[in-house]
Every structure is written in C-alpha cells, then in structure tokens.
C-alpha cells in the first residue's frame, strides 16, 4: 500500500487527522450472507442513488441501476444456465464485469473469472477443472482486444453468450424482474448460502495446469471486512481507482467488491497497461485510493506529470514484492510513502498488510483479523519457515482438470502458501521467497528474489528475472535474464561484495533478452522465464 505524505518525513494520515477515517472493527456477523445480498445491504445503507461505479468511459452507475441491471440480466442468463453452475466470465474490468458477476450471483450461479491473457490451452484447462460450459463475454471487448481466435477455440467446448445479444432478448418478464427485484429481493431465496461457492478464480498456471480456487461467499466477504478493519475507508470522501483485472483476486475483491460493500465509489479502467491514460484519469477523477502492483505503479509514476497523483491518499500494491527503487521513485516524485501487503488467491486474497500507523518497510505487515499462522521448518533455512494460514477468508478448496468438478477441500482449514517467511516479535511478516524460487547451490539455499534485488539496485530502470539451471558440480546454477544490454556479472559481483551480500547470490550467467515475460496480473511470468533461460542456455 502507499500512504500519501504531507512532508518527506511526516506521512499523512496519523490517528488525529480528521480526513482519515478510522478502520471499521471486524464484524464476523457481516460475513454471514451471500455476495449479492451484501451488495443489496450496501444499497440500502448508502442509498440507491449513490454513484457506485464510474466506468472506463466516464459513465456513472448508481446502486439502483446496478441492482435493476443485475436482476434483469440474471433473469435472462437463468434460461441458459443451471443453478449452482460455474459460469465463465470473460470481461475486462468495468461495469460489464460487475453486472455479469452480480447477475449470476443473484440467481445462484457461480461466476468463474477467466483470464483472457492466459492463452487457449490454460483457459481450456481451467474450464475443464470447473466444468465451465458457458461463457459470458461482450462482442465489443472481443473486437477491441482482438480475441476472436481465442473465442473460436473456446467455443469448441463452451457456449458463448454475448452481453449485447442477451440485452436484445430481455423481454417483459426480465424487465419485471429488473423492476421488482430491487424492491422485493426476497423473490430470490438467499437463506444459508454464505458457505456455498461464491466465485471460482484460477491460479496462473506457471507451475503446472491452472487450478480452480473455490471461494465461498463468506470467504470473500470476510476478506472485505478484514481489509476494512485494517485500513480506514470513507464512503463520503474516498474513491478507488482500479485498473487491475477482475480475473485476479486482488482486482476483484479489493477493486470491485470491497468498494460496493463499503459504499466507496469504484473508478474502473479496462487495462493496467496504459500508464499515461491512467495518470490522466486519476487526475481527472480525483481518486483517493489507487490499486496497483509494483510493476504497474512504477510505470504510472514515470508516466505521471506533476499534480497527477495529488488526490491519492492511499494506494494498495499487491501481487508482487515492492522493490526499493520503486519505493524511492514514488517518494521522490509524489511524496508518497509505500506500505506493502501480501496475499494469495486462496485467501481471497489479502493475508497481511502494513498500515500507516504500523509500518515496517521491507515487511508485508501483520495478519488480517481472525487469521492464524504456522511456520513449517524448511531444510537449509535457518530463520523462518514455510507459511501456512487459516481463517474465515481461506478458500473452500481446489478444482483440478485431472478431476473435473470435484472440490479438493483443504485439510482442517489450513492453506500452505508455499512461501518462506520470517515473523518478528511484533507479528510483522517478511517474505524470503517461494519455496520453488530458492536454488540449492553447493548445499546452500539461495533466494532468487535476492539475485533480482541485486540487479535492480544497480539498474533500477530495467527488468530482471532469475532462473535456475542444472549444474553437474554444485547441483544448481543461477542465471539472470535482463532487458538491459549493459548488465554484466562483474558489476553485480562488486555490488554484492560492497553490500555484504553472499557471492552465491551473484548469477553464474547473464542472459540478455528483448523483454521479460509478464502475466496479465502484472507479476513476472516465472514459468516463461524458466523456459526462456533453458532455451537460451542450450544455444
């Protein structure tokens, strides 16, 4: 997260600042409902005429409009789908995605959020895991995104429903549902649904086939309430600028559902890959909260002009580690202090975060309310261990393509994150790296993240990614991919020696590439990085 500063040394938003609302105490009872009922509750609380969403083209939608649209669209989609069916949603961040999500939820269908950047193979594997046979999308999106070849391929296994076509079929019955639904929401029975599946999201597939992550209504609403209890949000003065995709849990839960539940205006942008346009819209909309990843926030900062981010009081950076050079850039250019957080799709997604009143740079903060943790010892790691978490936001389980439609429940509610962390006496978590992102060099465990950090410290304006290759003598060797042709091993070695970093963290080889692979979520695509390293090493 980022917290605006009034001066270089004094972060804005101390506990006495009247403009910064206090966090809402965590209330588990608010999670005992389903997602659509939670939206209707917010509509009643904040008023149907309150603007809830500003779309990418600037069009505003209030709670009443969204409610009517969800009931009418849901009534139309009901004729094409079955109760409790996992229905694919393949749409960019915007009002269309919100309406499709809420329409399906209103009529007991489960939105399965499809990553349109993942490629046909991964998408078909994800659809097989969730037994998704129907996809909701939009012709305009397919045309603008040049996705027709993808749709043609997916259409071999699923029925494609276009929002434009559905809109044309909405007749008197659906219009009545749209009119009466907001007035008489009890027409659709909602009792006892909160422990049922509320949404299916998918892992990136960089470590094998994508897995379906099944989150209950309560899982998602619990994370909404946990975040509200961690940071202060004002329904009167705050607005969230969200350019992150809703197929990513961060963009969905924090960027779309949280604002709707908390009465905070959500300002959507359809792509995070337009830094100049995003900077312009932040200035235009005077958004106070910005969602981003490290990769994207650094791009926005470089593309922004003076005054573009003056309205931003808080930004949430997740999905990847915040680099020191990014922290320094946004502090220098916009006087914004970075507060870092950590999450996992399996935890809906926020697990921990720093706060402006409790901030330790280099850490990802402390756990969300009502969460527990365990550290499992890892051979070769002296400090910390592999993190397991448990809490009301932790998923129901996985769906796999190898066993379609069968929920693989987690044991006793515990999720193994696969991340190696250390936790200090104050409960602050420091991420050492994923178990799979450690190399064993001559019997020593070396974090690939540290390797990347060394390169980033010397060449902060470039992208770098470390990978491992077999080594006959030492077991594994580390190589570094970089998009900077000036990167060399001798400079990294000298920097490591001057800063007390083990020489084991200096890559054996430097591989220069035109571009470092990045996922649609903004994370580095380590699966592609590893494949590229292997291919280049064999030349």
Asked if the structure places residue 314 within a domain, the reply is yes
pLDDT tops 50 at residue 50 = yes
* Domain CATH for 173: 3.40.50.12780
Q: Are residues 379 and 503 in the same domain?
A: no
By residue range, what is the domain housing residue 509? 442-537
pLDDT tops 70 at residue 183 = no
Burial letters for 253-264: b for 16+ Cβ neighbours within 10 Å, e otherwise? bbbbbbbbbbbb
Half-sphere exposure of 63 (CA within 13 A, CB side): 25
Q: Are residues 327 and 448 in the same domain?
A: no
Reported in sequence order, the residue ranges of 303-428 that DSSP labels E, i.e. its strands, are: 314-317, 336-338, 341-343, 350-353, 366-367, 372-376, 385-390, 397-400, 403-409, 415-423
- Any residues with CB less than 8 A from the CB of 498 and at least 6 apart, and which? none
- Please give the average per-residue pLDDT across 78-86, as a whole number: 94
Asked if the structure places residue 21 within a domain, the reply is no
- Please give the average per-residue pLDDT across 103-119, as a whole number: 94
- Please give the average per-residue pLDDT across 347-355, as a whole number: 93
In this predicted model, what pLDDT tens digit does every residue of 402-431 receive, in sequence order?
Answer: 999 999 999 899 999 988 899 999 999 998
Question: Given this model, what pLDDT does residue 340 score?
Answer: 84
- The number of distinct structural domains making up the chain is 2
In this predicted model, what pLDDT tens digit does every residue of 265-277 receive, in sequence order?
Answer: 999 999 998 999 9
Q: Is 272 helix (H, G, I), strand (E, B) or coil?
A: coil
Q: Are residues 330 and 448 in the same domain?
A: no
Q: Are residues 315 and 348 in the same domain?
A: yes
Question: Given this model, what pLDDT does residue 2 score?
Answer: 47
* Domain CATH for 506: 3.30.300.30
- Please give the average per-residue pLDDT across 508-531, as a whole number: 80
Q: Is 395 helix (H, G, I), strand (E, B) or coil?
A: coil
Q: Are residues 466 and 410 in the same domain?
A: no
Asked if the structure places residue 22 within a domain, the reply is no
Question: Given this model, what pLDDT does residue 184 score?
Answer: 57
Q: Give me Rg for the CA atoms of the chain.
A: 23
Backbone phi, then psi, for 496, in 5-degree steps? -60, -45
- Any residues with CB less than 8 A from the CB of 234 and at least 6 apart, and which? 21, 264
Question: Given this model, what pLDDT does residue 456 score?
Answer: 85
pLDDT tops 90 at residue 372 = yes
pLDDT tops 70 at residue 178 = no
Q: Are residues 320 and 460 in the same domain?
A: no
Q: Are residues 456 and 314 in the same domain?
A: no
pLDDT tops 90 at residue 436 = no
- Please give the average per-residue pLDDT across 427-448, as a whole number: 75
157 phi-psi bin (left φ>0, alpha ψ -120 to 50, beta other):
alpha
Question: Given this model, what pLDDT does residue 8 score?
Answer: 35
- Please give the average per-residue pLDDT across 516-520, as a whole number: 78
Asked if the structure places residue 433 within a domain, the reply is no
Domain end (from 419, 450, 484): 419
Q: How confident is the model at residue 476 (pLDDT cuts 50, 70, 90)?
A: confident
Asked if the structure places residue 435 within a domain, the reply is no
- Please give the average per-residue pLDDT across 13-28, as a whole number: 67
Asked if the structure places residue 429 within a domain, the reply is no
Question: Given this model, what pLDDT does residue 440 score?
Answer: 64
Asked if the structure places residue 23 within a domain, the reply is no
pTM recorded for the entire structure? 0.83
Cis preceding-peptide flag for 349 (omega within 30 of 0): yes
Between 142 and 446, residue with greater pLDDT = 142
Asked if the structure places residue 93 within a domain, the reply is yes
Domain end (from 386, 419, 452): 419
Q: Are residues 377 and 453 in the same domain?
A: no
Q: Are residues 371 and 459 in the same domain?
A: no
Q: How confident is the model at residue 285 (pLDDT cuts 50, 70, 90)?
A: very high
Between 235 and 187, residue with greater pLDDT = 235
Domain end (from 384, 419, 454): 419
Q: Are residues 344 and 480 in the same domain?
A: no
pLDDT tops 80 at residue 113 = yes
Q: How confident is the model at residue 173 (pLDDT cuts 50, 70, 90)?
A: low
pLDDT tops 90 at residue 333 = no
Question: For the ranges 175-189, 278-292, 367-381, which has the lowest average pLDDT?
Answer: 175-189
Q: How confident is the model at residue 359 (pLDDT cuts 50, 70, 90)?
A: confident
Q: Are residues 515 and 395 in the same domain?
A: no
Helix H or strand E encompassing 449: helix 448-458
In this predicted model, what pLDDT tens digit does every residue of 214-234 receive, in sequence order?
Answer: 999 999 999 999 999 998 889
Question: Given this model, what pLDDT does residue 474 score?
Answer: 67
Question: Given this model, what pLDDT does residue 13 score?
Answer: 39
Q: Are residues 250 and 156 in the same domain?
A: yes
């Amino acid at each position: 997260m980022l917290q605006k500063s009034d001066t270089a040394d004094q972060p804005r938003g101390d506990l006495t600042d009247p403009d910064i609302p206090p966090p809402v105490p965590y209330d588990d009872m608010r999670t005992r409902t389903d997602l659509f009922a939670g939206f209707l509750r917010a509509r009643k609380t904040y008023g149907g005429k309150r603007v809830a969403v500003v779309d990418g083209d600037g069009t505003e939608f209030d709670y009443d409009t969204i409610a009517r649209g969800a009931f009418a669209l849901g009534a139309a989609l009901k004729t094409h789908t079955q109760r409790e069916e996992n229905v694919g949603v393949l749409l960019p961040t915007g009002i269309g995605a919100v309406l499709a999500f809420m329409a399906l939820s209103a009529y007991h269908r489960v939105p399965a959020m499809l990553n349109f950047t993942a490629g046909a193979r991964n998408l078909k594997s994800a659809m097989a895991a969730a037994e998704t046979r129907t996809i909701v999308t939009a012709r305009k999106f397919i045309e603008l995104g040049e996705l027709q070849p993808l749709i043609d391929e997916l259409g071999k296994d699923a029925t494609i429903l276009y929002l434009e076509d559905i809109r044309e079929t909405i007749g008197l019955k659906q219009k009545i549902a749209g009119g009466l639904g907001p007035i008489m929401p009890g027409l659709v029975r909602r009792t006892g649904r909160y422990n049922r599946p509320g949404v299916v999201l998918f892992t990136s597939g960089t470590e094998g086939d994508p897995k379906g992550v099944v989150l209950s209504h309560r899982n998602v609403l619990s994370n909404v309430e946990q975040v509200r209890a961690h940071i202060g949000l004002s329904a009167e003065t705050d607005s969230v600028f969200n350019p992150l995709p809703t197929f990513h849990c961060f963009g969905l839960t924090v960027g779309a559902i949280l604002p709707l539940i908390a009465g905070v205006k959500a300002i959507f942008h359809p792509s995070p890959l337009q830094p100049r346009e995003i900077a312009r819209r932040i200035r235009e909309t005077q958004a106070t909260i910005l969602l981003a990843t490290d990769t994207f926030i650094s791009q926005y900062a470089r593309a922004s002009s003076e005054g573009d981010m003056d309205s931003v009081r808080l930004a949430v950076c997740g999905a990847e580690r915040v680099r020191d050079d990014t922290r320094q850039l946004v502090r220098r250019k916009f006087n914004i202090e970075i507060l870092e957080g950590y999450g996992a799709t399996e935890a809906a997604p926020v697990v921990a975060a720093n706060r402006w009143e409790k901030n330790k740079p280099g850490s990802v903060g402390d756990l969300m309310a009502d969460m527990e943790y365990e550290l499992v010892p890892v051979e070769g790691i002296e400090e910390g261990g592999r993190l397991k978490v448990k809490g009301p936001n932790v998923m129901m389980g996985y769906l796999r393509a190898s066993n379609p439609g069968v929920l693989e429940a987690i044991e006793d509610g515990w999720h193994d994150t696969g991340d190696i962390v250390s936790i200090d006496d104050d409960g602050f978590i420091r991420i050492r790296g994923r178990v799979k992102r450690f190399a064993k060099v001559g019997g020593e465990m070396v974090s690939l993240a540290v390797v990347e950090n060394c390169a980033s410290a010397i060449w902060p304006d470039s992208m770098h990614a470390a990978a491992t290759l077999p080594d006959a003598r030492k077991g594994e060797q580390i190589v570094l991919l970089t998009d900077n042709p000036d990167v060399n091993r001798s400079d990294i070695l000298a920097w490591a020696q001057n800063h007390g970093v083990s020489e084991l963290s200096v890559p054996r080889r430097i591989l220069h590439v035109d571009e470092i692979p990045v996922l649609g979520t903004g994370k580095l695509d380590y699966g592609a990085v590893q494949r590229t390293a292997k291919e280049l090493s064999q030349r």
